[in-house]
Structure 1
Amino acid sequence: MTKTIPSESVLSALKPEEKNIYEEVVRTTLAMFHEDYEYEETAIETKVNELLFYTKGRVEVKKGWKSLFNEKEGKKEDAPVLPAVQKNDTTCSKLAIKEGFTKPPQPYTEGGLISMMKTAGKLVEDEADSDILKEVEGIGTEATRSGIIETIKKNGYIEVKKNIVSVTEKGIILCEAIEGNLLSSPSMTAKWESYLRKIGEGKGSQENFLKNIKKFLNATIDEAPKKLETESLAVVVQNQVDTQTAGTCPICKDGQMVDRKKLYGCSNYKNGCTFTIFKVISGKKLTQKNVKDLLEKQATGKLKGFKSKAGKPFDASLIVKDKKVTFSF
């Protein structure tokens, strides 16, 4: 079919869409054998009242294969086409003040976080570290990056709403605690990768690698709490504690009942208080009011929805007795 040259009548019988496709194919094919498009990269310095203004762009020298295509008006190019000028040419300048607003960076999506992890080498100033990160494709691997984000999300450091990622108060505390630490920089991955290569080459040992990691982590654990002593951060920490506690322990009257996923446990457990309230008891999920009643009144009203081990439903109240939660019929 490509060897057949269509006549004028055949071309005129084509639908507009078919004709556009045919002409695009012809132009693209001819362009492959046409002359090169030539231009000069140009940088112009213009002095206005002793102030220098810099303009970068290009000056077209030869249209070449581009002459086969109609360039769309207003099409944005990588660099503007500049007029041909000579050194010391005079110019007429029109100066004006332009008011505007800067836009904040676009919020990250989960996909954006994965891309950022992959290209983390761009954020590192040290050239050697940057090269290593580019070679290993950043932090994590294709198989682990989404899992890392899921773990951070599950532990409450970030939250995702409508695919937009935002840092929680708990995440802010973590960021403040490790600010300026190697743990907060992609360089840590690069340095670990560098030493792993030494091990592979027989120039390093696994024992030294693990020893240095342990030393680094111990130093971080010792240093991080000092970062949390500022007044503003103390408020954030207290807010985070408040959101994770249900109230004061009714047994020791000193500890706080801390949310531990499946239960509320007394924060004074190190001193011997083992009082706990499970969030689900005999198949029934407790409400916040139920928990509050147990802490403040040591009893709830009559509740429906419990199930025995045999699967039979029953109603009962919950009470605090003998330092534990039990049924009252």
Structure 2
Amino acid sequence: MKKLYIAEKPSVAQEFAKALKIRAARKDGYLEGEEAVVTWCVGHLVTMSYPEVYDASYKKWSLATLPFLPENFLYEVIPATKKQFKVVSTLLNRKDIDVIYVCTDSGREGEYIYRLVEQEAHVQGKKRLRVWIDSQTEEEILHGIATAKDLSAYDNLASAAYLRAKEDYLMGINFSRLLSLKYGQSISSCMGTRYTVISVGRVMTCVLGMIVRREREIRQFVKMPFYRVLSSMVCGESTIEGEFRAVKGSAYFQSPKLYKENGFSHKEDAKELIEKLSNPKPVQAVIEKLERKKENKNPPLLYNLAELQNDCSKRYKISPDETLKIVQELYEKKLVTYPRTDARVLSTAVAKEIHKNIRGLSGFANVQSYAAEVLEGTAWKKIASTRYVNDKQITDHYAIIPTGQGLLALRSVSALSVKVYELIARRFLSIFYPPAIYQKTTLVSKVQQESFFSSFRLLLSEGYLKVAGMPEENKKKDDTEDVKCDENLLQALQKCKKGDILPVKGFSIKEGETSPPKRYTSGSMILAMENAGQLIEDEELRAQIKGSGIGTSATRAEILKKLQANKYIALNKKTQVLTPTHLGEMIFDVVNNSIRSLLNPELTASWEKGLTYVAEGTITSEEYMEKLEGFIKRRTDAVLGSNSSYALRKLFDESAVFYKKQQKPQRRLTGGKKDGNM
């Protein structure tokens, strides 16, 4: 009897064959040795059938056939992969194969890929074991095979995978057809096209809403000037600057003349304050409060996919989809661990063997000195007791780190891929370094009854910044830019004490203006999706946000790509800034006036959270489907019973003025296979 190993891709199958030392003859679609057979899926081999397969009447789009909610879902082999499906199906049912090792990607989608194949191949009476690995190194593959669990242990995960597909399918087909039939013509008449398909998806539409809302916030924003009053004071041989704030005790406390507490709405009021404080002469400031303290800045948590995509968008101006492709290639070449992860910490099991990863980096010239320095120290031995190791924060996979292996493969990848690998390596090594230490001095001085605030920060010890501050061209963006004083000034401040008098050389007015919200970049959008619609740039705060985001680490880049392909959004490749198109804004208006809840990030995240509950076994598939079908029925009935065409036309005209060029004609409305979306 033989064992069958089934991977997701041919390249992964080859790695399993190598790790198992299988002397295999290459056949058409599989490898076969004396004791084992290795085959692969080439991604999805099976997909959900379209409505016309259930009944030919569904081929023509009609409001009378909605909502479409089948009792039993139908599946079919993807035409382009029929040959490989037949190979895999035959192997799964071969009488001389008694054990099947499921080696598809270790995640929800990988589970779904295999389960569909097994379902359509009608496999029975075989022992099935699930191999779950975090990297494609030989050691990890063999460990995964040795510790493989019965496939049934992953039944809840499989249920969640089936439900995710059904949810996207039902929302995509029902809402895309519904809104296209109701309002597609309204868009077409506005754009001068014949037909318009309104493509709607559970996650895709929500993300479109975030981009459109942000663009409209920027349009509606009115810049307001404000004026800050600054004092210039003599401290030893140095000059320090203080900023006026209307705190309690000030003549301007809570005054309507203020723009916030540190500025005036009108320049005349700022001049009036300076005039008051400039007499009598000489003008002096009294130190009312002086505080000195050291601040520690710890190394950031490790990369998950969202963090890596955000950093690569900022540093290298590449899209999340490009980042995913690069890190996937690095994974397949055994250089890094599994990329599609949400975790930013390591497991205790990995922490015990972490010296192997560090030692391996000694062979990577760009960081070898840091790797050697880490190994000479003791921090790596205690890493398990730090915030960088936490089993409770890991669901499927731990953070993305270098394996320390396969360094020769760096010769066969692009220069950009090497940069991304170095980014991952530096983030990894930085967790074994001490925090960066700053000396912070804050000073409150008083001129008459008005308070001026000064704050200084000097980097005393670079700590982890030594390894994390890469690449060179981006150093100006590092934490070191926050240094606001030099050694001379620090020495002068050390001699100061409460009650000291500082001569005031003069006052000045610094004009500023309020800033509109920033547009999303491809990277910041990935972070916002991870945090259920909130763009949280502060790392510590992000770590406190619990729960599922919008989409998953595996799908977020694809969602942005699909919005671009549909011409709903535009991506500036140089800046990675995202903006809506006119068509995208019209789609937003249609959804906002018909199925508004699809634009709600919290609701979209709650669907994802529900899938997590199914995977955990907290709720059943039946409970989830009941909720899903009820949602689709209610929203469909509401749209069928209303008509917003007249109101929408007005909204379309309002947004049209911001777009000089009309979009290209949209594809013709048919009952084809383009209406299921994420």
TM-score using structure 1 length: 0.44
Q: Whose strand fraction is larger, Structure 1's or Structure 2's?
A: 1
TM-score using structure 2 length: 0.24
Indicate the structure (1 or 2) with the bigger Cα radius of gyration.
Answer: 1
Q: Whose helix fraction is larger, Structure 1's or Structure 2's?
A: 2
